[in-house]
């Protein structure tokens, strides 16, 4: 039996929400395989745990190789490649510092031997007639003081120099100790970071005709866990070049990949991201996975369960070609459909470090979007900018994920998308607070009045709300405002609206719930007063008043603290 070694490299990765399917390939010359012979291949290069046979599939691209059998899986371990270079760098630093310390110690020893003590003379006035004072006159005494002072200065300079050498030596010894600790720590980490290597032993039989091609492609597909991805988006707001009153949206799709599979994916030509988020208790097997990469596409319903459902036991025996239609021309997409995104470009690197690695998946642009400021003054004294695009030309669906809002590439705020937006759907989204609109919700005015009759008495509550909106921009803006109006389901409690006058007229005509888009008020489905598409001129100000009365029997107490 012939034996061949084969090193495989990662060529394809499909990342699902909780696992990934990795494909490794290598190309071998056909002359390596003699006809009508048995061969044993040792496939190397695996660092992820591939000991579960159900998660591994070996394929040989040759019509004349009759049988392929995965014999056994061998495990070994190696140290990371970075060990030698990092360790040598630390050792070189240690050697340099050790030499510097040796030189310093020699200097300290030499200068310490030359070190002299300092001397001082007694006070001449306090010791007159004693010792030197008795023998020396004033002039000789001063000469002696000068000589002794010069001597002491030299001795102190020598002592200071010795002290500085000692300080330098201590600093170098501290640095040496730190480097030695780093080297010891690195050696310990190198042992802990030894990577597992797995070799696959494969048996195959070549038919009597032998390989008909110039080369034989060996591929291994296997499933790994401890990896996932989540979508996110950057939405950049830019003024429209064709209409100054509108904006364009530049949308970047990101796939944030995180993996701790044990193997680094280096220079991978193809990485794809699948939206399948089904949690599997037993885990999928390779023969349950889809064989064809779908790029922003939805298959026909008859094939949906066979191709995408990883619960299905169906395995296609040939390559299918039914998926031709791009997602941007498909209408009424199934909201529960599984999407697969291919990361553009090649040589993609994703380390097995548990960190988030963002990759750009797609870029879309929406032109001439309408902007509207939505204000609910009772809940927040902010104006929230809402964007609507009547022509949704997204090149790929937007699935739920985190969003960063940018204005001319300047960060504005964080947001999130809680639902899917497919191409062709109505695109409507809040994109942050608009600082150019000032909202003032004035204090609520409340008054009570009691009316006593012959047989009964009533209480009447007068409530007045006022919202002042100021446009700080030099151009006009459009706002939509919603304010709360109490609704009574009891005949004993009567709510009467007196302002806005336009809404009172609509109520009298039975048209209060007719939706209006001209800035005039109407009652929406929640019985709240709404001003939709109200225009405020440049640097203008608008005051919206809501006045109503509540009349009820004085025998019943009414809680109106939130009215």
My answer on whether 416 and 386 are in the same domain is yes
Confirm whether 285 is domain-assigned: yes
Give residue 235's pLDDT. 92
Q: How many CB atoms neighbour CB 492 within 10 A?
A: 12
Q: What is the mean pLDDT of residues 232-241?
A: 90
- Give percent of the chain above pLDDT 90: 12
Rounded Cα distance between 398 and 259, Å, is 23
Strand partners, 387: 371, 429
Q: How many CB atoms neighbour CB 225 within 10 A?
A: 16
Which DSSP string corresponds to 172-213?
A: HHHHHHHHHHHHHHHHHHHHHTPEEEEEEEEEEEE-TT---S
CB distance 502 to 520 below 8 Å: yes
My answer on whether 161 and 91 are in the same domain is yes
pLDDT tens readout for residues 420-452: 888 888 888 888 888 889 999 988 888 887 776
Burial class of residue 509 in the structure, from the number of CB atoms within 10 Å of its CB (0-12 exposed, 13-18 middle, 19+ buried): exposed
Q: Which of 428, 383, 432, 382 is nearest to 407 (CA)?
A: 432
Cα separations in angstroms, 554 against 88, 405, 447, 449, 457: 92, 53, 15, 10, 6
Does position 196 have pLDDT exceeding 50, yes or no? yes
Strands 437-441 and 521-523 turn out to be unpaired
Rounded Cα distance between 166 and 111, Å, is 11
pLDDT tens readout for residues 359-393: 998 889 999 888 888 989 888 888 888 888 888 88
Rounded Cα distance between 188 and 496, Å, is 80
Give residue 313's pLDDT. 30
Q: What is the mean pLDDT of residues 203-231?
A: 82
Give residue 252's pLDDT. 93
Does position 220 have pLDDT exceeding 60, yes or no? yes
My answer on whether 334 and 420 are in the same domain is no
End-to-end Cα distance, the chain: 90
pLDDT tens readout for residues 47-75: 777 777 777 888 887 666 766 777 767 76
Work out the pLDDT band at 250, boundaries 50, 70, 90.
Answer: very high
Give residue 15's pLDDT. 93
pLDDT tens readout for residues 103-142: 888 888 777 766 666 656 566 555 554 455 555 667 776 7
Count up the domains in the chain and report the number: 5
My answer on whether 7 and 28 are in the same domain is yes
Contacts 24+ apart (CB under 8 A), 499-504: 499/545, 499/546, 499/547, 500/529, 500/544, 500/545, 500/546, 503/529
Rounded Cα distance between 8 and 43, Å, is 7
Strand partners, 247: 239, 369
Confirm whether 561 is domain-assigned: no
My answer on whether 235 and 294 are in the same domain is yes
Rounded Cα distance between 223 and 13, Å, is 10
Work out the pLDDT band at 408, boundaries 50, 70, 90.
Answer: confident
- Can you give the residue range of the structural domain that contains 304? 228-350
Which of 397, 414, 436 terminates a domain? The answer is 436
Work out the pLDDT band at 286, boundaries 50, 70, 90.
Answer: very low
Which of 419, 436, 453 terminates a domain? The answer is 436
Confirm whether 358 is domain-assigned: no
Give residue 311's pLDDT. 27
pLDDT tens readout for residues 1-26: 677 788 888 999 999 988 999 999 88
Which of 300, 324, 350 terminates a domain? The answer is 350
Centroid of chain to Cα 109: 59
My answer on whether 69 and 199 are in the same domain is yes
Q: Which of 488, 492, 499, 486 is nearest to 562 (CA)?
A: 486
Q: How many CB atoms neighbour CB 265 within 10 A?
A: 22
pTM above 0.85, yes or no: no
Does position 85 have pLDDT exceeding 60, yes or no? yes
Residues whose CB is less than 8 angstroms from the CB of residue 511 and which lie 6 or more positions away in sequence, other chains included: none
My answer on whether 140 and 105 are in the same domain is yes
Q: Which of 388, 399, 395, 397 is nearest to 427 (CA)?
A: 388
Confirm whether 177 is domain-assigned: yes
My answer on whether 302 and 400 are in the same domain is no
My answer on whether 453 and 530 are in the same domain is yes
Rounded Cα distance between 536 and 531, Å, is 12
Beta strands in 336-426, from DSSP E residues, in sequence order? 340-342, 348-350, 357-375, 384-389, 401-407, 410-417
Q: Which residues of 302-320 are buried (b: 16+ CB within 10 A; e: fewer)?
A: eebeebbebeeeeeeeeee
Confirm whether 362 is domain-assigned: no
CB distance 487 to 475 below 8 Å: no
Confirm whether 538 is domain-assigned: yes
139 vs 534, higher pLDDT: 534
Rounded Cα distance between 383 and 472, Å, is 12
Does position 546 have pLDDT exceeding 70, yes or no? yes
Place of tokens 């598409």: 533
Give residue 117's pLDDT. 66
My answer on whether 307 and 243 are in the same domain is yes
My answer on whether 305 and 403 are in the same domain is no
Work out the pLDDT band at 358, boundaries 50, 70, 90.
Answer: very high
Rounded Cα distance between 424 and 236, Å, is 20
My answer on whether 279 and 337 are in the same domain is yes
Confirm whether 359 is domain-assigned: no
pLDDT tens readout for residues 178-187: 888 888 887 7
Does position 477 have pLDDT exceeding 80, yes or no? yes
Give residue 301's pLDDT. 32
Rounded Cα distance between 377 and 542, Å, is 14
Q: Mean pLDDT score of the chain, rounded to an integer? A: 76
Give residue 519's pLDDT. 83
């Amino acid at each position: 039996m012939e034996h061949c070694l084969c090193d495989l490299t990662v060529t394809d990765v499909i990342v699902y929400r909780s696992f990934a399917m990795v494909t490794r390939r290598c190309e071998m010359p056909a002359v390596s395989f003699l006809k009508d012979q048995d061969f044993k291949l040792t496939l190397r290069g695996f660092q992820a745990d591939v000991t579960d046979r159900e998660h591994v599939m070996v394929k040989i691209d040759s019509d004349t190789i009759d049988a392929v059998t995965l014999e056994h899986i061998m495990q070994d371990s190696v140290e990371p490649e970075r060990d030698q270079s990092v360790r040598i760098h630390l050792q070189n630093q240690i050697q340099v510092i050790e030499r510097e310390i040796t030189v310093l110690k020699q200097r300290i020893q030499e200068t310490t031997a030359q070190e002299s003590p300092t001397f001082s003379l007694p006070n001449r006035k306090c010791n007159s007639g004693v010792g030197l004072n008795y023998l020396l006159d004033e002039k000789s005494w001063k000469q002696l003081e000068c000589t002794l002072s010069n001597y002491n200065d030299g001795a102190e300079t020598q002592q200071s120099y010795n002290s500085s050498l000692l300080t330098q030596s201590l600093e170098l010894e501290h640095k040496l100790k730190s480097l030695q600790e780093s080297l010891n720590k690195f050696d310990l980490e190198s042992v802990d970071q030894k990577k597992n290597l797995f070799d696959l032993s494969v048996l195959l039989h070549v038919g009597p005709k032998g390989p008909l091609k110039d080369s034989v492609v060996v591929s291994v597909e296997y499933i790994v866990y401890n990896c996932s991805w989540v979508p996110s988006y950057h939405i950049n707001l830019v003024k429209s070049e064709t209409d100054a009153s509108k904006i364009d949206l530049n949308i970047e799709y990101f796939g944030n990949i995180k993996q701790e599979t044990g193997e680094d994916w280096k220079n991978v030509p193809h990485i794809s991201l699948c939206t399948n988020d089904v949690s599997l208790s037993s885990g999928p097997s390779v023969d349950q996975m889809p064989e064809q990469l779908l790029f922003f596409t939805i298959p026909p319903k008859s094939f949906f369960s066979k191709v995408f459902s990883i619960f299905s036991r169906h395995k296609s025996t040939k390559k299918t070609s039914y998926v031709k239609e791009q997602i941007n021309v498909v209408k009424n997409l199934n909201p529960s459909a599984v999407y697969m995104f291919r990361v553009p470009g090649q040589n993609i690197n994703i380390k097995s470090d548990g960190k988030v690695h963002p990759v750009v998946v797609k870029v879309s642009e929406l032109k001439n979007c309408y902007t509207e400021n939505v204000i609910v003054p009772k809940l927040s004294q902010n104006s929230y900018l809402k964007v609507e695009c009547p022509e949704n030309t997204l090149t790929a669906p937007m699935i739920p994920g985190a969003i960063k809002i940018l204005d001319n590439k300047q960060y504005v705020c964080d947001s999130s998308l809680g639902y899917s937006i497919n191409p062709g759907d109505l695109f409507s989204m809040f994109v942050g607070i608009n600082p150019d609109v000032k909202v003032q919700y004035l204090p609520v005015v409340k008054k009570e009045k009691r009316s006593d009759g012959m047989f009964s008495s009533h209480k009447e509550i007068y409530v007045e709300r006022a919202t002042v909106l100021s446009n700080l921009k030099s151009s006009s803006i459009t706002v939509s405002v919603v304010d709360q109006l109490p609704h009574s389901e009891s005949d004993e409690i009567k709510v009467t609206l007196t302002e806005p006058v336009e809404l009172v007229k609509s109520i009298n005509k039975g048209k209060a719930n007719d939706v209006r888009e001209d800035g005039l008020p109407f009652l929406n489905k929640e019985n709240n007063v709404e001003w939709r598409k109200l225009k405020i001129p440049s640097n203008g100000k608008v005051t919206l008043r809501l006045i109503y009365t509540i009349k009820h029997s004085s025998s019943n107490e009414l809680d109106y603290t939130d009215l």
